[in-house]
Amino acid sequence: MGSNLQYIKKIPLFAYLDDDQLGEVEQVILERNYQKGRIIFMEDEPGEAVFFVKSGRIKISKQTSDGREHILHFINPGEVFAEVVMFGDGTYPATAEV
């Protein structure tokens, strides 16, 4: 098994999948590295992916009506974010920044 598969097994979202199913998940995973300060996606953009954090921290925020940033929470290693695009209207409900 590849290193991604070993990592995927530890993510609660995938905890109940068998090795064949995990292998299918591994086939569609793209590993990306982002520099600090990089915007991964903006609020209201069309959702294209679900993300999980291998290392580092992601800030999730929304913009208030007067243009200020409101930080909702931080995503840490081992956590998944943007999974809402699988269930909602297909847009990101907040901004994600490294």
Higher pLDDT: 66 or 5? It is 66
Nearest by Cα to 96 from 55, 37, 46, 18: 37
Q: Which of 51-55, 85-89, 94-98 comes out lowest in average pLDDT?
A: 85-89
- Calpha distance 97→42 (Å, rounded): 9
How many structural domains does the chain have?
Answer: 2
User: Do 25 and 7 lie in a common domain?
Assistant: yes
Tally the C-alpha atoms within 13 A of residue 81's C-alpha that lie toward its C-beta.
24
Strands (E), 1-98: 39-41, 51-52, 58-63, 69-75, 80-81, 95-97
User: Do 21 and 53 lie in a common domain?
Assistant: no
Tally the C-alpha atoms within 13 A of residue 17's C-alpha that lie toward its C-beta.
17
Res 1 pLDDT > 50 = no
| Per-residue model confidence as pLDDT tens digits over 23-82 | 888 887 888 899 999 999 999 999 888 898 989 999 999 999 999 999 999 999 988 898
Tokens of 85: 């695009």
User: Do 82 and 37 lie in a common domain?
Assistant: yes
Where in the sequence is the domain holding 49, given as residue range(s)? Answer: 33-98
Q: How confident is the model over 14-20, as a mean pLDDT? A: 86
User: Do 56 and 98 lie in a common domain?
Assistant: yes
